[in-house]
Structure formats: structure tokens, C-alpha cells
Amino acid sequence: MARKLARTICDSMGAIPQDLRKATMKTIDEMLNLALLTPDQHQQISRWIAQADSPDDILKMPPPLWRAIERASAVMGIDEDLTRPPALDADDLVCR
């Protein structure tokens, strides 16, 4: 699921905006702090993201690192958060 979502994001972006890169790193840091990634996995993933010039480059991450991210994402409920329909009381806060 995390890979499918990443592919969707990559299809709509050419280069990685700095704020998206920072948000991704914050999420990876949180995964480490929750002991959902090992320090070695965190370091490898962080390096991969830092050197990536495009979302497609991130998708070329080695499968073991993707599996680690997918497991951590599942535990954190990230996929559910990203696929949950907007709250009915969100008014115009969605998709400005």
C-alpha cells in the first residue's frame, strides 16, 4: 500500500519539493524514535532520500528498505490516515 501511494505521488510530481522532503524525513525520524526502524535502516533510508533527485529515485530504494517502511507505516496507521475520507466538518480546509 505504501508503495502504491508513493507511486501515485510520484506520478503527480516532477521533483521533490523541500517541504515534502522534510516531512518525509520527520516521518522516518518518528519511525526510528518508536523503534519501528533500526538505526541502520533509518540511516540507509535517510541517505537514499537525501540523494534522490526525484520521487522516481525514491521508488528505486532497495526492497528490504521498502519493506521496513511498509511495516513501520502499517504500525503507525499511515496508510489509513492517507486513505481516510475527509471529515464532513472539514469545510473548505481540504484541497485549497
Angstrom CA distances, 25 to 37, 88, 90, 93, 96, stand at: 13, 30, 27, 25, 24
Q: How does pLDDT run across 33-83, given as a tens digit for each residue?
A: 999 999 999 999 999 988 888 888 888 999 999 999 999 988 988 877 667
Q: How does pLDDT run across 7-43, given as a tens digit for each residue?
A: 555 554 455 667 776 777 888 999 999 999 999 999 9
Domain ranges of the chain: 1-6+24-80
pTM assigned to the model: 0.68
